[in-house]
């Protein structure tokens, strides 16, 4: 970065985003440095971008454009690439509007229907067609994801999602817990695709861990919408590991971002364990502060393998306590499936009718999922 410029305004200037004085100051900086790109901290409108380019003679990139470029570099799977392209088209669509004769692309002539479409109108139509295609392809991949999810559910293995701010070390933590080799980079959004790995907790129980795309403050809504099917995998987790970089200050703000993002994808009510990672980068004073402010949290270092055994024990403990109330109305033949898992159920009530039994019980999500799958396999609708 060559230099920076900031301004406090109640609202952005509708024409140039910056106020008149700051725009003059920015022009002087452009003359001094002759930058290839000017990065705007927030999002700007198409008209603001056009005005700034005309005034400064330099390419302008706003927050969403920058994030999209980072996503494009890190997308490795077909689904990830399609999701990023769809997000970019959603972002660019408002730019495919314009007026003026300079935008006209005359295509009229003998045997044609008129003067032809404006170039931007044509670009907009092509973008809409491409978006429709991408949505269809992502829908196919979503159906494949649902098939895989149902297979996992039939296996009855608990699913634990690692979520958190970007570059908090989720992939490193996944590697250490599961002895896997997921790509780890000290970069923003190095993980864009969900990765699932199997491991065992101290009790010997097998567990599935899923690594997810990192969150960020003011995550562009185009990305949230395009990555909806990927992010919704989190909502199927039995509980979450909220991973936070312990070495970074102002963790409260990042925790708010995590909570807000989880609420958007309807995963805000899922039980969680708060994990502060990278304590090897922290001073003793910082560690004591975190322990005092967040006594329920587990402080670890995936890189140095510090306190990971404690984290695994905590995971085991939570798995045994994530229990909810359920109710079933079943016939007498189906009741044998309930008896098979009777030792894992806390029966609250049983009401017998002429040809049915109503059972109300408390159990963990894994046991309940196994029971429902067995009933479905037995022909229950």
Q: What is the pLDDT of residue 265?
A: 80
Task: Report the chain's mean pLDDT, rounded to a whole number.
Answer: 81
Which long-range contacts does 117-123 make (Cβ < 8 Å, 24+ apart)? Answer: 120/96, 121/96, 123/96
Per-domain residue ranges for the chain?
160-321, 323-377
Residue 97: predicted pLDDT: 64
pLDDT confidence bin for 222, thresholds 50/70/90? low
In terms of average pLDDT, the best of 142-146, 303-307, 320-324 is: 303-307
Give the angle 64-89-262 at the CA atoms, nearest 5°: 55
Element containing residue 162 per DSSP (H, E): strand 159-164
User: Which tops the pLDDT comparison, 220 or 10?
Assistant: 10
pLDDT exceeds 60 at position 190: no
Q: pLDDT tens digits, residue range 307-352? A: 999 999 999 888 877 767 889 998 888 888 888 877 677 788 999 8
Identical fold between 160-321 and 323-377: no
Confidence at 40, pLDDT banded by 50, 70, 90: confident
- 187 has a pLDDT exceeding 60: no
pLDDT of residue 336: 87
pLDDT for residue 230: 67
Query: How many Å apart are CA 129 and CA 229, to the nearest integer?
Result: 21
For residues 51 and 342, which has the higher predicted lDDT (pLDDT)? 51
What the block records as the tokens of 265 is 């994808």
Question: Token digits for 299?
Answer: 């402080």
- Kindly state the tokens that stand for 229: 């099917």
Q: Above pLDDT 90, what percent of the chain? A: 20
Looking at domain 160-321, its CATH architecture is 3-Layer(aba) Sandwich (3.40)
Q: What is the pLDDT of residue 65?
A: 85
pLDDT at 240: 93
78, two tokens: 């077909």
CATH of span 323-377:
3.30.70
Predicted TM-score (pTM) of the model is 0.67
Beta carbons of 101 and 136 less than 8 angstroms apart: no
Is residue 245 scored above 80 in pLDDT?
Answer: yes
What CA dihedral angle connects 35, 39, 40 and 44, to 10 degrees?
100
Summarize the confidence of residues 32-59 as an average pLDDT.
Answer: 87
Backbone angles phi, psi at 365, to 5 degrees: -65, -35
pLDDT digit string (tens) for 53-112?
Answer: 888 888 888 888 888 887 777 777 788 788 888 888 888 888 776 443 333 444 444 344
């Amino acid at each position: 970065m060559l230099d920076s410029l900031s301004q406090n305004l109640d609202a952005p200037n509708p024409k140039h985003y910056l106020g008149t004085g700051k725009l003059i100051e920015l022009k002087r900086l452009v003359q001094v440095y002759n930058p290839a790109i000017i990065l705007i901290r927030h999002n700007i409108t198409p008209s603001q971008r056009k005005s700034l380019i005309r005034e400064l003679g330099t390419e302008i990139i706003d927050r969403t454009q920058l994030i999209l470029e980072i996503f494009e570099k890190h997308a490795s799977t077909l689904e990830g690439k399609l999701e990023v392209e769809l997000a970019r088209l959603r972002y660019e669509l408002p730019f495919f509007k314009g007026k003026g004769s300079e935008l006209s692309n005359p295509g009229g002539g003998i045997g044609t229907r008129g003067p032809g479409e404006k170039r931007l109108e044509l670009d907009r139509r092509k973008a809409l067609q491409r978006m429709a295609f991408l949505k269809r392809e992502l829908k196919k991949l979503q159906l494949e994801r649902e098939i895989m999810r149902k297979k996992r559910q039939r296996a009855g293995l608990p699913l634990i999602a690692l979520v958190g701010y970007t570059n908090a070390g989720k992939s490193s933590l996944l590697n250490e817990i599961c002895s896997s080799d997921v790509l780890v980079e000290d970069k923003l959004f190095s993980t864009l695709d969900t990765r699932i790995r199997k491991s065992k907790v101290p009790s010997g129980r097998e567990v599935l861990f899923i690594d997810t795309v990192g969150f960020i403050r003011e995550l562009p809504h185009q990305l949230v919408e395009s990555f909806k099917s990927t992010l919704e995998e989190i909502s199927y987790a039995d509980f979450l590991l909220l991973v936070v970089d312990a070495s970074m200050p102002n963790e409260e703000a990042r925790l708010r971002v995590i909570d807000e993002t989880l609420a958007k994808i309807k995963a805000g009510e899922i039980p969680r364990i708060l994990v502060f990672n990278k304590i090897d980068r922290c001073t003793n004073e910082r560690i004591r502060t975190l322990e005092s402010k967040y006594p329920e949290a587990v402080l670890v270092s995936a890189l140095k393998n510090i306190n990971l055994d404690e984290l695994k024990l905590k995971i085991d403990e939570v798995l045994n306590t994530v229990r909810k109330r359920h109710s079933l109305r079943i016939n007498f033949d189906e009741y044998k499936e309930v008896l098979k898992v009777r030792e894992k159920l806390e029966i609250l009530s049983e009401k017998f009718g002429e040809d049915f039994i109503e059972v109300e019980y408390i159990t963990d999500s894994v046991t309940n999922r196994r029971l429902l799958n067995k009933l479905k396999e037995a022909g229950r609708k």
